[in-house]
Amino acid sequence: MRDGVSVAILPQLGASLAGLRQAGQFRRTLDYDLAAYQGRFDQVTWLSYAAGESRTFAEYAYPRVAVAAPRHPYPPLLWALAASARRAAILEASVLRVWNLSGVLPALVARAYWGRPYVLQLGYDHLAVARALGKWWKIPLIRALRRIAARRADLIFVPSLALAERWGVAADPAIRSKLMEMPNGVDTERFQPDADPEPRAKGAVLYVGRLSPEKNLLRLAEACRLIEARLVCVGQGPLATALAAAGSELHGPVPNEELPGWYTAAACFALPSLTEGSPKALLEAMAAGCPCVVSAQIALDFAVPGMVVPVNPALVIDIEAGIHAVRVRPPWVAEHIRSARAHVEGHHDLRALLRREVSLVWEVAHGHHR
């Protein structure tokens, strides 16, 4: 199966092992993503931006997975350039796998100077997030970077072709021909309706993810206040202080392997985002049997009627009504739960998606290696 083919994985700008641990994503990244690549490639290297993190994962039974990091602190942009110019792990890689648009710079340099192929992930609408954050000055920079990165990529993973159309990614025929649907997945064996409930989430409205403006959490907090519902937030981000002041319960990031019980204990999961890609937390909630109240656009993008409760994210009263509808658990909620679980099992199984992803990246790498 393997014949000296290697892959270098480029995460978002500024990423590190410490950041993965802080966000509760370390074991998920290692045990699923990196393990899947080790199963097919001779060497897997993950690029870290934190000084002193170079290491291997032999103690985790992943001897062919290593981390390349600077010896001394660098500004992230400078390290991105230095890594692509100096690190053998990148220069000798058969293929570069770019997990996030913000981390594409080393791939662009390696492609321009050494002809290294790369596979790009466009997981969400970066332009919409910039608008939601009020960072209008970033929009032309993001648009230009996305266009250049997509044109030079060998393959581009998107959550769905419909989303790529809406984001404007598919307008260029040369880019459209490279698009491949690759939604997020969830471990359906880990996230099950019979997971032991987490007491801190019992009976609450649950949100899991980044606490940032595009998630529309202040409206969610107001909706919960109006119906005297507890809002429990798992995650971190710039809205933490405002959410705490609004009466929300903040628990910080929780390791992915501990999340199932939070979903099974909650009255419902809420995701009234203004924009999304392929939301992992929603898939986890659906797999764990937690009723879901989500923005209407998310419901259209990733669900079918009868799986989630769609709401207008611009109207607090609509979010309030959606939460109230599922909190009282009418008979139709049980059917929603069954349908949602079946949908995730059939379309978002993490192991099956990773096998497909790794095979596609392998094809790009093998073409270069030969």
Residues 72 and 157 in one domain: yes
Span 143-152, average pLDDT: 96
- Considering the domain boundaries, does residue 191 fall inside one? no
Span 95-105, average pLDDT: 95
- 165 vs 60: CA distance, rounded Å: 41
Triad 324, 330, 333: Cα angle to 5°? 90
Q: Residue 218: which CATH number?
A: 3.40.50.2000
- Considering the domain boundaries, does residue 119 fall inside one? yes
Q: At what angle do helices 217-226 and 316-327 cross, to 10 degrees?
A: 60
Q: Which amino acid is at 123?
A: G
Residues 125 and 77 in one domain: yes
Residues 239 and 365 in one domain: no
pLDDT higher than threshold 90 for residue 153: yes
- Considering the domain boundaries, does residue 165 fall inside one? yes
Q: What is the residue-averaged pLDDT of the chain? A: 92
Environment class of 93 (CB within 10 Å of its CB; exposed 0-12, middle 13-18, buried 19+) = buried
Which pair of structure tokens corresponds to residue 282? 């929603």
- Considering the domain boundaries, does residue 116 fall inside one? yes
Residues 244 and 341 in one domain: yes
- 113 vs 347: CA distance, rounded Å: 39
Residues 342 and 354 in one domain: no
pLDDT higher than threshold 70 for residue 234: yes
Residues 268 and 134 in one domain: no
The DSSP element (H or E) to which 218 belongs, if any, is helix 217-226
Kindly give, in sequence order, each residue whose CB lies less than 8 Å from that of residue 168, ignoring residues fewer than 6 positions away: 127
Return the pLDDT at 297: 87
Residues 211 and 305 in one domain: yes
- Considering the domain boundaries, does residue 190 fall inside one? no
Domain count along the chain: 2
Residues 171 and 203 in one domain: no
The number of beta carbons lying within 10 Å of the beta carbon of residue 146 is 21
SS3 for 247?
Answer: coil
- Considering the domain boundaries, does residue 194 fall inside one? no
Residues 22 and 165 in one domain: yes
Over the stretch 331-368, which tens digit does the pLDDT of each residue have? Answer: 889 999 999 999 999 999 999 999 999 999 999 998 76
Distances (CA, A) of 136 to 126, 140, 313: 12, 8, 22
- 102 vs 340: CA distance, rounded Å: 32
CB 84 within 8 A of CB 90: yes
Kindly give, in sequence order, each residue whose CB lies less than 8 Å from that of residue 129, ignoring residues fewer than 6 positions away: 214, 275
Radius of gyration of the chain (CA): 21
Burial 284-306 (b: 16+ CB within 10 A, else e): bbbbbbbbbbbbbbbbebbbeee
Return the pLDDT at 1: 41
Burial 195-227 (b: 16+ CB within 10 A, else e): bebbebbeebbbbbbbbbbbbbbbbbbbbbeee
Residues 11 and 54 in one domain: yes
Return the pLDDT at 201: 96
pLDDT higher than threshold 80 for residue 84: no
Span 161-184, average pLDDT: 93
Residues 74 and 204 in one domain: no
Over the stretch 24-72, which tens digit does the pLDDT of each residue have? Answer: 999 999 999 999 999 999 999 999 999 988 888 878 889 999 998 888 8
pLDDT higher than threshold 50 for residue 138: yes
Over the stretch 309-333, which tens digit does the pLDDT of each residue have? Answer: 999 999 999 999 999 999 888 888 9
- Considering the domain boundaries, does residue 1 fall inside one? no
Domain interval for residue 165: 6-185+350-369
Name the band, by pLDDT with cuts 50, 70 and 90, for residue 141: very high
Return the pLDDT at 2: 52
Residues 109 and 40 in one domain: yes
CB 63 within 8 A of CB 56: yes
The sign one gets for the Cα dihedral 158, 161, 164, 170 is: positive
- 213 vs 225: CA distance, rounded Å: 18
Return the pLDDT at 87: 64
- 321 vs 369: CA distance, rounded Å: 56
Return the pLDDT at 303: 63
Which pair of structure tokens corresponds to residue 209? 């993810």
- Considering the domain boundaries, does residue 193 fall inside one? no
Over the stretch 237-278, which tens digit does the pLDDT of each residue have? Answer: 999 999 999 999 999 999 999 999 999 999 999 999 999 988
SS3 for 239?
Answer: coil
